[in-house]
Structure 1
C-alpha cells in the first residue's frame, strides 16, 4: 500500500480478527463436545489480557499477571464450557483449583504446538481496560505457565495499519 491509499470505511481488521477468534471458539467447542478430551497430541496455549472486560480470574492471579497470562489446556483441565462470547475452564494453580472466564475478545494468542499452528491478535485499547472482576472466594497461591514465544511457521498475525 502507498501513502495515497485512502482510509477504509470498512473495518477490515476488526472483521478479520473476529473471524479468527471464531476459529478459537470452534476448536474449543469441538473439544467441549468431545467431553473435554483433546484429540491425539493436540494441546493449546492461550494468551489473554487479564484486565480485559469480562475476564474473571482469581485476585492473586490478576496480581501476578497484571497485563497478560498464558494458560495451557493439555492434560489437567476440567469443566470447559464454550459460548458465543468466550469460554470458561477449570485449571489448577499451586494445586488449588480455579475457574477462569475468558471472552474471545481478550485473547491475544492461540497456539497448538502439536501441529505448529498459531494465531496472534492485536488487542484494541477498549479490550484492555482493567476491570474488577476478581473472584473474591478464589484467592491465594498461584502458579501459572510462562508466556509462549512465537517463532514458528503457520502463525497468522493480523495487524492492519491504521493511518493517523
Structure 2
C-alpha cells in the first residue's frame, strides 16, 4: 500500500470522467442551447488519431471546437471519436481523455486545465478549474495562429 493518497491522480480521473459524461450527453442529445467546447489535446499522445497533415500542422497540441458542425461523435471509456470540419474538409479524430490539456465551455464560463510537469507542478498530477473566459483567453494566447484573435469580455454586453 502507498504511503500517501494520490489526490492529483484521483482528481484527474474525476475531471476526465466529467468530460466523458458531458460528451456522452452531447452524443445522445446534441449540444443544448449555446453550449460549445474548446478542447485542447496532446497530438503526440500515442493513442491520438488524426490525419497526417493535421499532425504536421499541430506537432504538439491542437485545439478543436465542437459547436456548429461535428459528426459521428462516439464516446468510449478511454476517449472519443468525432469528425470535424477543417476548411470544408471533414476529418475524423480520436482524442484519448488522458491527452486532454484543456476543456472549456465558454457559454457558461467553465474551464478545466490539466497541469503537466512543464506547467510548474513538480509531480505532474495537478489540475486547475478555471473561469471559462480566463481559460479561453489563455488558449488563444498560447496558439500561434496565422490570424490575430481578439477576446471580448462578455461582461461589457451584460445589463
TM-score scaled by length of structure 2 = 0.71
Q: What are the within-5 Å matches in structure 2 for residues 97-136 of structure 1? A: 97-123=90-116
Q: Which runs of 4+ in 1 moved over 3 A?
A: 147-152
Q: C-alpha separation between the residues in 1 aligned to 2:107 and 2:40?
A: 17
Instruction: Kindly indicate whether the alpha-carbon contact (under 8 Å) linking 1:45 and 1:111 is maintained by their aligned counterparts in 2.
Output: yes
> For 1:54, which of 28, 47, 57 is the aligned residue?
47
Give unmatched runs, 5+ long, in structure 2.
119-138, 143-150, 154-159
Secondary structure of 2:62's counterpart equals strand
Q: How many residues of Structure 1 are paired with residues of Structure 2 in the alignment?
A: 123
Q: Deviations over 1:140-162 (max 9, x none)?
A: xxxxxxx445999xxxxxxxxxx
Which of the residues 11, 33, 40 maps onto 2:33? 40
RMSD: 2.3
Aligned partners of 2:78 and 2:23: how far apart in 1? 12
Query: Which residue in 2 is equivalent to 1:82?
Result: 75
User: 1:12 matched to which residue of 2?
Assistant: 7
Post-superposition offset of 1:123: 4.0
- TM-score w.r.t. length of structure 1: 0.69
More helix by share: 2
In structure 1, stretches of 5+ residues that fail to align are: 1-7, 126-146, 153-164
Q: Select the structure with the greater relative contact order (CA < 8 A; seq sep ≥ 6).
A: 1
Deviations 1:70-112 (A, max 9, x none): 0000011000000111101001112111100001000000000
1:10, distance to aligned residue in structure 2 (A): 2.2
